[in-house]
Amino acid sequence: MTQLFHATPEQDDFRAHARALYDAGMVLVAEWCRDWEGMSPSTFTKLWSEPGFTEWWRVKFPEHCPATEVDALTIDHEWRTALVRGFRKGDTRALQAWTTAKVAASKAADLNGNAETLAAYLEGDPEIAWHMGDAAEAR
């Protein structure tokens, strides 16, 4: 893929500045722009939408890359491994995490992968309320 974005020397300098601040714990764009002449959060947002900018940016900020399928598989493996470790130690938090995941998976299946229904639920639409049913009554 050909990179369409060609950074100016000032943009290269800003990216290095942002990387140093990020490494120091200042992770917000507004923090990077605070003392940088010619860069503001709105300017950064405009740049972000330019073709090739994100690819150029991510050379120094690989953690800003979207998660891949391999990342998801790794996270799933690590989660399951931590659960098994917790079960073996008798940690009740592991059982709670597993139960929560099972209930969430069941409720997600009820939505049949419908993103609009999920969005309505997350926005608090009373017509789409999830209920714990018997589990909530058993407490």
pTM of the full structure = 0.56
pLDDT(127) > 90: no
- For every residue of the chain, DSSP letters joined together read --------HHHHHHHHHHHHHHHTT--SHHHHHTT-TT--HHHHHHHHTSTTHHHHHHTT-GGGSPPPHHHHHHHHHHHHHHHHHHHHHT-HHHHHHHHHHHHHHHHHHHTTT-HHHHHHHHTT-GGG----THHHHT-
Q: Residue 10 carries which side chain, given as an amino acid letter?
A: E
pLDDT digits (tens, 9 = 90+) for 16-69: 999 999 999 999 999 999 989 999 999 999 999 999 999 999 999 999 998 889
Find the radius of gyration of the CA atoms of the chain. Answer: 22
pLDDT(135) > 60: no
Would you say 95 and 87 are in contact if contact means Cβ atoms under 8 Å apart? yes
